[in-house]
Structure 1
Amino acid sequence: MSLSFSFFSKPFPLHSQTYFFTHPFPPPILCFSPKFKTLSLTITAAAADADAADASTSPTPQSRNSASFRTKPPHQVNVLVVGSTGYIGKFVVKELCRRGFNVVAVAREPSGDGTRNVVERELTGAAVCFTDVTNPASLEQSLEALAVPIDVAVSCLASRSGGIQDSWKIDYEATRNSLAAARHRGAAHFVLLSAICVQKPLLEFQRAKLKFESELAGEAAKDPDFSYSIVRPTAFFKSLGGQVETVKDGKPYVMFGDGRLCSCKPISEEDLAAFIADCVVEESKAGRILPVGGPGKALTPLEQGEILFRLLGRKPKFLKVPIGVMDFAVGALELLAKVFPAMEDAAEYGRIGRYYAAESMLVIDPATGEYSADKTPGYGKDTLEEFFARVIRDGMAGQELGEQSIF
């Protein structure tokens, strides 16, 4: 029996293209909207001049009645979604389109021949705009080129790696760029997909998210015609499915400590997307921080493993790893990072693993300072047991763990 922990992750580039000649311009922006029947090509100014151009020519927010979109039928409401190709973003786009909203889905410029078509198929029903959310000038001009006003913006942006620089570049800067661009197109409401773990910020991505949350609330405080909803979900189903195949193959279910260290009320991607869509127009959700989990009771890792073994019809077999193993690994990585600065992200990945091995994904009761299942709202209908049964039957296709898997 061997047990390994991987804290090293190589982030994917957010945007890459190959040029066969030297030029001073960032990539051109192409926006095609079958819904709005527009095709626009924009070539932005040189990146070196972007800040100066933005300061002197930034458009002012369009004059619109901020509350009016809530009184309109969905087909008259334009919703901008950034992070639309991410794990949750794709489901949010699908749900908003299903409800009849006009959706503008912002996506990274894909690499490789034919991949634009793949992205557009994934986001069927939306007007797909390929641009770079990390470049404020490009994002502004791409939305300007699309030539449609925005009523509501939804951000599903999240760092792909959790690395220090990547967290601030995406969870803070790119999300801030998206807010500014949406506001300049008239957005009166902003829905932010955050995370419940920011209650106890020990990691860089949590600090980056909190900084933007604060600025978003500040924007609303300055403008009574602007509102926001901050959604803080608990664990996603996909983050708990990584051991299904190994247990199915006869290996033990691995947990830290006694298996009761970290509880959660996991929520499916469909249920979370539905909750986010509710936030688009429900006034009762405006101006609020909204923690949300799935239906049913909170589950410990021990209980999650028991569900899995019951579904497989097998006697439970657990491997309990002392949390000190994680502490040692993190300590070693942090020591290396002091000597080799290039190891800073590796140390951060270790801290991320340690955090999720020990901290519950539940609301912290301010009166006691403890995690509280009772104070963590449930939503939706999908259960973890149903998810496990589906993965046992069909595998993890579409539920890939990505770069932050621990086991």
Structure 2
Amino acid sequence: MTQGRSLQPRRVFVIGATGTIGRATVRALVQAGHEVVCFVRPGSAALAELAGATIRFGQVTDAGSVARDGFRAEPFDALVSCLTSRTGAPGDAWAIDHAAHIVVLDAARAAGVKHMVLLSAICVQKPTLAFQQAKLAFEKVLIESGMDYSIVRATAFFKSLSGQIDRIRQGKSFLMFGDGTATACKPISDDDLAWFLTRCLDEPGRRNRILPIGGPGEAVTPRAQADRLFALLGGKPRFTRVPIALLDTIIVVLATLGRISPSLAGKAELARIGRYYATESMLVLDPVTGRYDAMATPSTGSETLFDFYAQVIAGERSVQRGEHAVF
């Protein structure tokens, strides 16, 4: 996807540039005509995909490194963050989703940055997990900082909903919770989200706002995902229904054992994350009714999840799954 160039090119500092959304966002920023500086960890992969941007190395959790190796006492107009914790475990979440962002925000203010575009997540509307609470805590810091902000709460990504393509190719069943219709989302592609983030720099109506966003089309349930995959692959639909009670039992067991084993405590949190995604829709939550509302969830872009499925199956695209992928 290619969109128009910005009428006001800016100097933009980017963190989280090497993730899948980060790489797409850097591409969009460069195509829009911005001067982009990416601050990445030494040894980071995928640097070739950051063509057109300046790459600087350092530690995002270290205030000295951010100032010395990142901003270098140079002026910047905007800060864009696609940075997120890898696992969502409590220690990781509070270190990255909260503390590291505060470090970079402080350095950005010293560099004269007037606007921050923050990629958050739509699931923070109902914060029961550590990474959601950490993200919300930083959102509050940003809002109260006095800097202009655009907080983009995105719905599900294509990569997180593509983990069962190979299962079905192998003739296996589609795993789902209940009948697969209790939850829904409006999946968004990397490129569509990247251009939404990029356009936040130019559109005054996106400043000082929290912006929930999804992809085009109707909300999609797990059952709808399964039906389309079986149709594309030509197989007979087969389903394995996983009871939520099984996840609850696993969480209790891991949490109990986690009292003596930190590694098992971490696995208990990952199981809680899995349960959350299995039981909560990634749509705008109506604060009055407590129900998720697909109609109230804004859409952007042109690529649908089912377009992506067809391209992956045809060998035209690949799936790069993250830590929060379902199944």
TM-score relative to the length of structure 2: 0.94
Between the aligned partners of 2:108 and 2:299, the Cα distance in structure 1 is 30
Match of 1:238 in 2: 159
Residue 337 of structure 1: how far off its partner (Å): 1.4
- SS of the residue corresponding to residue 143 of structure 1 reads helix
State the distance in 1 between where 2:208 and 2:186 align: 24
Measured in 2, the distance between the counterparts of 1:208 and 1:285 equals 23
The residue identity in structure 2 corresponding to 1:322 is: P
Q: Could you tell me which of 306, 323, 326 is aligned with 1:385? A: 306
Report if the CA contact (8 A) 1:234-1:292 is conserved. yes
Given the alignment of the two structures, is residue 276 of structure 1 paired with residue 202 of structure 2, yes or no? no
Pair 1:402 & 2:319 matched:
no
> C-alpha displacement at 1:405, in angstroms?
3.9
| 1:137 and 2:70 aligned | no
Cα deviation, 1:116-156, whole Å, max 9, x if unaligned, reads xx51x2210001111111001110112343x5311010011
Query: Does the CA-based 8 Å contact 2:71-2:108 persist in structure 1?
Result: no
Give yes or no for contact 1:267–1:295 (8 Å, CA) kept in 2: yes
User: Is 1:174 aligned to 2:100, yes or no?
Assistant: yes
Structure 1 residue aligned with 2:253: 332
CA distance in 1, matches of 2:7, 2:37: 17
Q: 1:188 aligns with which of 98, 109, 114?
A: 114
Alignment correspondent of 2:185: 264
In the TM superposition, residue 339 of structure 1 has moved relative to its aligned partner by: 3.3
Q: In 2, Cα distance between the equivalents of 1:150 and 1:251? A: 51
d(CA) in 1 for partners of 2:78, 2:264: 40
Distance 1:267 1:129 in 2: 29
- Count residues with an aligned counterpart: 322
Whole-angstrom CA distance in 2 between matches of 1:123 and 1:405 = 24
Q: Aligned-pair distance for 1:404?
A: 3.5
CA contact under 8 A between 1:245 and 1:395: conserved in structure 2?
Answer: no
Aligned counterparts of 1:342 and 1:310: Cα–Cα separation in 2 = 40
2:28 is the counterpart of 1:107: no
1:74 Cα deviation after fit: 3.8
Instruction: Give the letter aligned to residue 42 of structure 2.
Output: E
Structure 1 residue aligned with 2:3:
none
Is this contact kept in 1: 2:77–2:113, CA < 8 A? yes
Structure 2 residue identity aligned to 1:269: D
Pair 1:295 & 2:228 matched: no
Match in the other structure for 1:151: 77
Provide Cα deviations, 1:197-241, integer angstroms capped at 9, x if missing partner: 001111100000000000111112xxxxx3100000000000000
Distance of aligned partners of 1:251 and 1:227 in 2 relative to their CA distance in 1, 3 Å threshold:
same
Specify which of 341, 362, 366 is matched with residue 287 of structure 2. Answer: 366
Instruction: Tell me how far apart the structure 1 counterparts of residues 14 and 71 of structure 2 sit (CA, whole Å).
Output: 15
Q: 1:32-82 CA deviation, whole Å, 9 max, x = no partner? A: xxxxxxxxxxxxxxxxxxxxxxxxxxxxxxxxxxxxxxxx8444x101111
Q: Secondary structure at the match of 1:258?
A: coil
TM-score, scaled to structure 1? 0.76
Q: Distance in 2 between matches of 1:292 and 1:358?
A: 20
Cα offset, 1:257, TM superposition: 1.1
**8 Å contact 1:108–1:132 — kept in the other structure?**
yes
1:229–1:286 CA contact under 8 A, matched in 2: yes
Answer with 316-325 or 368-377: which moved more. Answer: 316-325
Give the superposition deviation at 1:256. Answer: 0.6
Unaligned runs of 5+ in 1: 1-71, 221-225
| 8 Å contact kept, 1:95–1:277 | yes
Give the counterpart letter for 1:308 in structure 2: L
Sort the Cα spacing of 1:306 and 1:186 in 2 relative to 1 into closer, same or farther, 3 A.
same
C-alpha contact 1:74 1:102 (8 A) present in aligned 2: no
Q: Is the 8 A contact 2:161 2:325 kept in 1?
A: no
For the residue of structure 2 that corresponds to 1:309, the secondary structure is helix
Amino acid at match of 1:331: V
RMSD: 1.6
CA 1:395–1:159: 2 relative to 1, 3 Å: farther
1:203, 1:352 within 8 Å by CA — same for their partners in 2?
A: yes
**What residue ranges of structure 2 are gaps of 5+ in the alignment?**
1-5
Counterpart contact for 2:81–2:118, Cα < 8 Å: yes
Cross-structure match for 1:127: 54
| 1:217 and 2:138 are equivalent in the alignment | no
> Shift of the alpha carbon at 1:109?
0.8
- Give the structure with higher Rg (CA): 1
Secondary structure, counterpart of 1:270 in structure 2: helix
Over 4 Å off, 4+ runs? none
The residue identity in structure 2 corresponding to 1:230 is I
- Helix, strand or coil at the partner of 1:379: coil
